[in-house]
Structure 1
Amino acid sequence: MIDLSAAHIWDASTVAVIDAITAKYAARGKSVTITGMNEHSRIRHAALVGRLSTH
């Protein structure tokens, strides 16, 4: 679980890092739950998730 209650997603780089973490866990057959996102962060994350590359 990633708890973002004390955090704020300001830009695409944050979404890219969260994507990279969840992808690494998924590759190992694990799932990640993200909790505590405020409304602004949820909107930004939803708009960018899966569209960024960390390479």
Structure 2
Amino acid sequence: MDISSDGARLVIASAGLTVPKRFGVALVPNSPPRECERVWRNGEMMGVRFTEPR
């Protein structure tokens, strides 16, 4: 939904989906995933902070 150099706000497909504290996310199709950590979650919305510099 929103992205910056430090993190992003993501929309999750299902509010009941379990998301780990740390995971990789590919923000552009066919690009390598960026490592990130979940900072907050509210239903289907989630904020993540990128843990690797870009």
TM-score of the pair, normalised by structure 1: 0.27
Structure (1/2) with the larger strand percentage: 2
- Greater RCO, 1 or 2 (C-alpha within 8 Å, sep 6+): 1
Structure (1/2) with the larger helix percentage: 1
